[in-house]
Amino acid sequence: MLYLDGIGISFLIKEIKEKILRYKLTKIFQYDRVSFSLFFGKNNLIFQVKDNSTIFYLKDEKDPNTDFQSKFLLSLKKHLQNSILINIRQEGFDRIVYFDFEKLNQFGDVEKYTLIIEIMGKASNIFLTSKDKILSALYFTSIDVGNRVIMTGARYTLPFEEKKISPLYLEDENFPFKTETFMEKIEGVGRAFALECSQDYHTFKKYLSSYKPVMYEIINRGKIQKVLTYNEFSEFNQKENATLENERKYFETLNEGLNAYFKTTITSNVISEKKKNLLKYVDSQIKKFKKIEKNIKVDLKKMKTLKNIKILEIFWRQICTK
């Protein structure tokens, strides 16, 4: 599980800007329907849209190119290949991030494009736009949501209309808040942040301005689960696995933490998937052999009946010949 609210995303943006801003986009790979990479030299900026694991980060390792093809990939290559990443910005403190690109066309004119990722759980989307018009989209919500239309040529609009209060405007006299009110009114705030910071201004300022990425191992509904987040939060402290052999793990950067988290969870998921497939195979073989056993019993019963019939036939013939 990833816990990165809008405030956590703001820290990640700062890290990535330091690494690849003003770099040229040299290669674009798409691995499957939900993930693709933009390469800035050797820097692999990966995007993935997977429910609660929707995120972008600089991946340490290069994934093998799967030669996956899509209209979205063709559009990315057409418009963004060899462009320069000039800015990464956020919609206030919301989980909407804009990647701004520029390139010269064949006539020497500057063309501007923006890649937009909306990190909204199952409703996450990625758009390629120019002059606020959608050129292509990797979308997972319905085509028409309220007044919002998602299709090529449509004007890009935000997935929400109500504007919240920026956390930058809050002062000491605004505190304390009720947790639910804090989440409803303040931009970029997730539940763990609200529980930690809604009562105290000084705690709020600390969590808003500094971070220390950490990976927990918690017990959630009886299951052990990894959680990566950008600060220590009491919500996860309380659920921490008491039998954990190693203590919670801290990272220097969120990007480092994301790489470690996905290496751990992907390995775990692969093992779980192999176990699941193996159990499924064993179960199918058990059912198969039970069916064979049942058929053998039926056949034996039939053979016994036929044998008795043949004995009766022989006995009857002997009587008839006398």
Rounded Cα distance between 186 and 181, Å, is: 8
Four-point Cα dihedral 192, 193, 195, 198, nearest 10: -170
Look-up: residue for tokens 């763990």? Answer: 192
pLDDT of residue 140: 66
Alpha helices, DSSP H, located in 47-136? 71-80
Closest to 143 in 3D by CA, of 129, 135, 131, 154: 154
Rounded Cα distance between 138 and 126, Å, is: 5
Give the three-class secondary structure for 227.
strand
Output the six-digit token pair for 322. 């006398």
Q: For the packed helices 6-20 and 254-321, what is the interaxial angle rounded to 10 degrees?
A: 110
Rounded Cα distance between 107 and 182, Å, is: 51
Distances (CA, A) of 138 to 94, 153, 204, 289, 305: 19, 14, 35, 46, 66
- φ/ψ of 38, rounded to 5, equals -110, 125
Give the three-class secondary structure for 52.
helix
Q: Which residues of 272-281 are buried (b: 16+ CB within 10 A; e: fewer)?
A: eeeeeeeeee
pLDDT of residue 141: 64
Distances (CA, A) of 77 to 25, 29, 35, 100, 159: 10, 9, 15, 15, 26
Hey, what domains does the chain have and what are their CATH numbers? 2-161 (2.30.310.10)
pLDDT of residue 271: 38
Rounded Cα distance between 120 and 136, Å, is: 19
Rounded Cα distance between 92 and 189, Å, is: 11
- The whole-number mean pLDDT for each consecutive block of 10 residues of the chain, a chain of 322 residues, reads 96 98 97 94 94 91 85 96 98 97 93 96 92 90 66 90 92 95 95 96 96 92 89 90 75 97 68 50 75 74 70 68 62
Distances (CA, A) of 131 to 26, 113, 128, 154, 176: 23, 7, 10, 11, 42
